[in-house]
C-alpha cells in the first residue's frame, strides 16, 4: 500500500490538563523580578533571588538548618504549646485558631527551640516563624524563650534568638 492510499488513523486529542508541562516544585517565580528560579538553586542561595537579590521568607526550621553546622540540630520543647485558659473568643474561638495554625503550618507553636553546634560550639536557639499566627507571642513562646536561656546558662553556651513576630497575642 502506498503512502497516499493509507487510511488515516483517528488521533485523539489529549486533554488540556495533560498537555501542560508540569514544573511544580521545580521552579519558583521571583515576585520581584519575575525570574524563573530553579528551586534547588534558590535553596543553595539561602532563599535569595540570584537575579535581583529579593529575599524570600524563611521558616523557623529553614533558619535553624542554615544556622547549625551541617544543618543538624535537635528540636527541644515541642510539647510546650499555648492553651486557652480564658476560653477566649472573638470572631472564632482562640482554641480553634491555634488548631488551624498547627494544621496549616505543621508547627506546634510560633517558635522552635533547638540545640546544636555552630562552628563546633554548643548553641541553643529559638527561631520564630511568621506563618504561625503572624509569629505572635503567646504563653508558650515566653516559656520556650525562658527555657533556652536557662539551658544555655546551665551549660555555659551561647543563645541565639531569631525573631519574626507581629507582636504579642492578646
Q: Across-strand partners of 126?
A: 113, 161
Q: Give the pLDDT of residue 168.
A: 83
Distance of CA 92 to the CA centre of its chain: 25
Total count of residues recorded for the chain:
170
Give the residue-averaged pLDDT of 9-29: 73
| pLDDT tens for each residue of 85-128 | 888 888 899 899 999 999 999 999 999 999 999 999 999 999 99
| pLDDT tens for each residue of 51-92 | 999 999 999 999 999 999 999 999 999 999 988 888 888 889
Which residues are CB-neighbours of 145 under 8 A, at least 6 positions away? 111, 126, 161
Q: Output DSSP code: residue 90.
A: S
Domain ranges, ordered by start, for the chain: 20-56, 58-170
**CATH architecture of structural domain 58-170:** Alpha-Beta Complex (3.90)
Q: Give how far Cα 3 sits from Cα of 6, 8, 49, Å.
A: 6, 10, 54
pTM: 0.77
Amino acid at each position: 500500500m502506498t503512502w497516499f492510499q493509507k487510511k488515516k488513523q483517528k488521533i485523539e486529542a489529549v486533554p488540556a490538563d495533560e498537555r501542560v508541562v508540569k514544573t511544580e516544585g521545580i521552579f519558583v517565580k521571583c515576585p520581584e523580578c519575575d525570574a524563573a528560579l530553579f528551586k534547588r538553586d534558590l535553596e543553595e542561595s539561602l532563599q535569595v533571588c540570584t537575579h535581583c537579590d529579593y529575599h524570600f521568607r524563611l521558616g523557623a526550621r529553614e533558619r535553624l538548618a542554615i544556622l547549625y553546622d551541617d544543618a543538624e540540630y535537635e528540636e527541644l520543647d515541642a510539647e510546650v504549646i499555648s492553651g486557652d485558659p480564658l476560653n477566649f473568643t472573638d470572631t472564632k474561638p482562640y482554641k480553634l485558631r491555634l488548631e488551624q495554625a498547627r494544621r496549616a503550618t505543621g508547627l506546634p507553636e510560633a517558635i522552635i527551640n533547638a540545640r546544636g553546634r555552630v562552628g563546633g560550639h554548643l548553641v541553643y536557639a529559638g527561631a520564630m516563624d511568621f506563618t504561625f499566627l503572624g509569629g505572635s507571642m503567646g504563653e508558650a513562646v515566653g516559656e520556650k524563650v525562658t527555657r533556652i536561656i536557662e539551658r544555655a546558662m546551665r551549660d555555659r553556651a551561647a543563645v541565639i534568638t531569631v525573631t519574626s513576630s507581629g507582636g504579642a497575642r492578646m
